[in-house]
Amino acid sequence: MRDVAVVSFAQAPNKRRELVRNEVEILMPVVREAIERSGIENKEIGFICSGSSDYLAGQPFSFVTSLDAAGAWPPVCESHVEMDGAWALYEAWVKLQIGELDSALIYCFGKSSMGDISEVLSLQLDPYYMGPLWPDQMSLAALQARLLLEKGQVSERDLAEVVARSRRNAKDNPNAQLSGDFEVEELLAEPMIASPLRKHDCAPISDGAAAVVLAADDLARSVCQRPAWIAGIDHRIEAHDLGVRDLTRSPSTALAAEKAGLARAPVEVAELYAPFSHQELILREAMGLGEGVKVNPSGGALSANPVMVAGLIRIGEAAERIKNGSASRAVAHATSGACLQQNMVCVLEGR
Amino acid sequence: MSKPVKSISSPIRLEYTYSAGEAPTRFLRGLAQKKIIGQRCPVTGKVYVPSAGASPTHGVPTVGEVEVSDKGIITTFCIVRIPAENLSVQAPFVAASVLLDGADIALFHVVDECPLEEARMGMRVQAVWVPDEELSPSLRSIKYFKPIDEPDADFESYKEHL
Amino acid sequence: MAELCGVVGIGQTKHDAKRIDVSTAGLVREAALRALEDAGCTWRDIDAVVLGKAPDMFEGVMMPELFLADALGAVGRPMLRVHTAGSVGGSTALVAASLIQAGVHQRVLTVAYEKQSEGNAMWALTIARPFSVAVVAGAGGYFAPLIRAYIRRSGAPEDTGIRVALKDRKNALKNPYTHIQIPDIDFDKIASSPMLWDPIRYLETCPSSDGACALVLASEEAAKKSPTPPAWIHAAEMRSEPTMFSGRDQVNPQAGRDCAASLYKKAGITHPRKELDVAEVYVPFSWFEPMWMENLGFAEEGVGWKMTYEGATAIDGDMPINCSGGVLSSNPIGASGMLRFAEASMQVRGQAGEHQVDGVRRALGHAYGGGSQYFAMWIVGSEKP
Residue B81 pLDDT level (bands cut at 50, 70, 90): confident
C156, C293 in Cβ contact below 8 A? Answer: no
Residues B85 and B162 in one domain: yes
* Minimum distance, in Å, between the CA of residue A33 and any CA atom of chain C: 21
Domain-located, residue A125: no
Q: Give domain status of residue C169, yes or no.
A: no
Question: How close, in Å, is residue B18 to chain A by CA atoms?
Answer: 6
Look at C56 and A123 and tell me if their CB atoms are within 8 Å.
Answer: yes
Residues A89 and A12 in one domain: yes
Q: Given A22, A68, A128, which is nearest B8 (Cβ)?
A: A128
- Which partners does chain B have (≥3 C-beta pairs < 8 Å)? A, C
B14 close to C (CB below 8 A):
no
Question: Is residue B84's pLDDT more than 70?
Answer: no
Per-residue pLDDT, A252: 98
Do residues B96 and B160 share a domain? Answer: yes
> How many domains is chain A built from?
2
Query: How many independent structural domains does chain B possess?
Result: 2
Taking an 8 Å cut-off on Cβ atoms, the answer to whether B78 and C145 are in contact is yes
Q: What is the CATH number for C41?
A: 3.40.47.10
- The alpha helices in A99-188, defined as continuous H runs, are 117-122, 137-151, 156-170, 184-188
Range of the domain at C41: 5-121+208-223
Identify whether C187 is part of a domain: no
Whether the pLDDT of residue B7 is over 90: the answer is: no
Regarding an ipTM greater than 0.85, the answer is yes
State the Cα–Cα distance between residues A316 and A27, nearest whole angstrom: 16
| Nearest C-alpha neighbor of C195 from the set B78, B90, B84, B95 | B78
Contact C20 B6 (CB under 8 A): yes
**Quick one: pLDDT at residue B51?**
87
Using the 8-state DSSP alphabet, how is residue A234 labeled? E
The CATH number given to whatever domain includes residue A40 is 3.40.47.10
Residues A313, A275 within the same domain: yes
Contact assignment for A42 to B59 by CB distance below 8 Å: yes
Domain end residue (candidates: B68, B102, B131)? B68
- Per CB-CB distance under 8 Å, the chain B contacts of A70 are 59
- Please give the DSSP secondary-structure letter assigned to residue B141: G
CB C374 within 8 A of CB C368: yes
Residue B8 resides in a domain: no
Other beta carbons within 10 angstroms of residue A267's beta carbon come to: 24
Residue C155, judged by CB atoms within 10 A of its CB (0-12, 13-18, 19+), counts as: exposed
* pLDDT on residue C128: 66
Taking an 8 Å cut-off on Cβ atoms, the answer to whether C149 and B162 are in contact is yes
Q: What pTM was estimated for this model as a whole?
A: 0.96
B133 and B54 together in one domain: no
Same domain, B139 and B110: yes
Q: DSSP letter string over A36-67?
A: HHHTS-GGG--EEEEE--HHHHTSTTTHHHHG
Task: Write out the H or E segment, with its range, that includes residue A217.
Answer: helix A217-223
Q: What is the pLDDT along chain C (385 residues), one digit of tens a residue?
A: 699 999 999 999 999 999 999 999 999 999 999 999 999 999 999 999 999 999 999 999 999 999 999 999 999 999 999 999 889 999 999 999 999 999 999 999 999 999 999 988 777 777 667 777 777 666 788 899 999 999 999 999 999 999 999 999 999 999 999 999 999 999 999 999 999 998 999 999 999 999 999 999 999 999 999 999 999 999 999 999 998 888 899 999 999 999 999 999 999 999 999 999 999 999 999 999 999 999 999 999 999 999 999 999 999 999 999 999 999 999 999 999 999 999 999 999 999 999 999 999 999 999 999 877 899 999 999 999 9
| Whether residue B30 is found in the same domain as residue B102 | no
What pLDDT, on a 0 to 100 scale, did the predictor assign at position B91? 81
Same domain, B47 and B78: no
Residues B105 and B157 in one domain: yes
Closest CA to C263 of C220, C233, C221: C233
In a domain, A31, yes or no: yes
Determine the Cα–Cα distance for residues C285 and C161; give it in Å rounded to an integer: 8
B140 chain-C contacts, CB cut-off 8 A? 133
Q: How far is CA C318 from the centre of its chain?
A: 21
Domain that holds residue B82: 70-162
Q: Look at chain C and report how many structural domains it folds into.
A: 1
DSSP C287-355: THHHHHHHHTTSS-TT-HHHHHHTTTTSTTSSS-B-TT-HHHH---HHHHHHHHHHHHHHHHHT--GGG
Phi, psi dihedral angles at B56 (to 5 degrees): -60, -30
Last residue of a domain, one of B68, B101, B124: B68
Whether C322 contacts C336, CB under 8 Å = no
B59 with B118, same domain: the answer is: no
Clarify whether residues A243 and A217 are in a common domain.
no
Q: Is the domain of A276 the same as that of A186?
A: yes
Of B7, B18, B56, the CB nearest to C130: B18
Asked, for residue A176, whether it belongs to a domain, the answer is yes
**SS3 of residue A140 by DSSP:** helix
Asked whether residue C52 is assigned to any structural domain, the reply reads yes
B23 contacts B51 by C-beta, under 8 angstroms? yes
Chain-chain contact of A55 with C62 (C-beta, under 8 angstroms): yes
Grade residue B88 by pLDDT with cuts at 50, 70 and 90. Answer: low
Q: Is A186 helix (H, G, I), strand (E, B) or coil?
A: helix
| Same domain assignment for residues A37 and A142 | no
Task: Confirm whether B95 is domain-assigned.
Answer: yes
What distance in Å separates residue C123's CA from the closest CA in chain A?
10
Within the 40-99 window of chain A, which residues sit less than 8 Å (CB to CB) from chain B? 42, 55, 58, 65, 67-73
Categorize the per-residue pLDDT at B87 as very low, low, confident or very high, splitting at 50, 70 and 90. low
Chain-chain contact of B7 with C20 (C-beta, under 8 angstroms): yes
Query: How far off is chain A from C242, nearest CA to CA, in Å?
Result: 6
Tell me the residue range of the domain where A102 lies. 4-116+206-225
Instruction: Give domain status of residue C268, yes or no.
Output: no
- The tens-digit pLDDT sequence of chain A (351 residues) is 899 999 999 999 999 999 999 999 999 999 999 999 999 999 999 999 999 999 999 989 889 889 999 989 999 999 999 999 999 999 999 999 999 999 999 999 999 999 999 999 999 999 999 999 999 999 999 999 999 999 998 999 999 999 999 999 999 999 999 999 999 999 999 999 999 999 999 999 999 999 999 999 999 999 999 999 999 999 999 999 999 999 999 999 999 999 999 999 999 999 999 999 999 999 999 999 999 999 999 999 999 999 999 999 999 999 999 999 999 999 999 999 999 999 999 999 999
Is the torsion defined by CA of A332, A338, A341, A342 positive or negative? Answer: negative
Whether C165 maps to a domain, the answer reads: no
B25 and B94 share a domain?
Answer: no
- Which chains have at least 3 CB atom pairs separated by less than 8 Å from chain C? A, B
Q: Are residues A217 and A296 in the same domain?
A: no
In a domain, residue C213? The reply is yes
* Region of C163 on the Ramachandran plot (φ > 0 left; ψ -120 to 50 alpha; else beta): alpha
In a domain, C117, yes or no: yes
Alpha-carbon dihedral sign for residues C132, C134, C140, C146: negative
Contact A234 C78 (CB under 8 A): yes
Specify whether A84 is located in the same domain as A213. Answer: yes
> Of C33, C178, C48, which is closest to residue C107 (Cα–Cα)?
C48
Q: Are B38 and B76 in a shared domain?
A: no
Q: State the best of B74, B80, B111, B139 to mutate against chain C, taking most chain C CBs within 10 Å.
A: B80
Same domain, A180 and A238: yes
What integer pLDDT is reported at residue C271 of this predicted model? 97
Name the residue of chain C whose CA is nearest to B85's CA.
C123
Cβ contact (<8 Å) for A25 and B55? no
Q: Is residue B121 domain-shared with residue B150, that is, in the same domain?
A: yes
Alpha-carbon distance B117 to nearest alpha carbon in chain A (angstroms): 34
- Tell me if C131 and B24 make a contact (CB, 8 A cut-off): yes
Residue A143 resides in a domain = yes
The pLDDT score that the predictor gives to residue C189 is 98
User: Is residue B62 included in any domain, yes or no?
Assistant: yes
Q: Which residues of B touch A111 (CB under 8 A)?
A: 19
Q: Which residues of C touch B100 (CB under 8 A)?
A: none
Query: Who contacts A279 (Cβ-Cβ below 8 Å, separation ≥6)?
Result: A141, A144, A335, A339, A340
Question: Are the beta carbons of C247 and B155 separated by less than 8 Å?
Answer: no
The residue count of chain B comes to: 162
Q: Do A78 and C240 touch (CB under 8 A)?
A: yes
Q: Which residues 134-153 in chain B show a CB within 8 A of chain C?
A: 138-140
Sorted by sequence, the CB contacts under 8 Å of residue A192 that are 6+ apart come out as A198
Say if the Cβ atoms of B162 and C153 lie within 8 Å.
Answer: yes
Residue at B46: amino acid letter: K
Q: Does residue B154 share a domain with residue B117?
A: yes
A305 domain residue, yes or no: yes
State residue B19 phi and psi, 5-degree precision: -100, 130
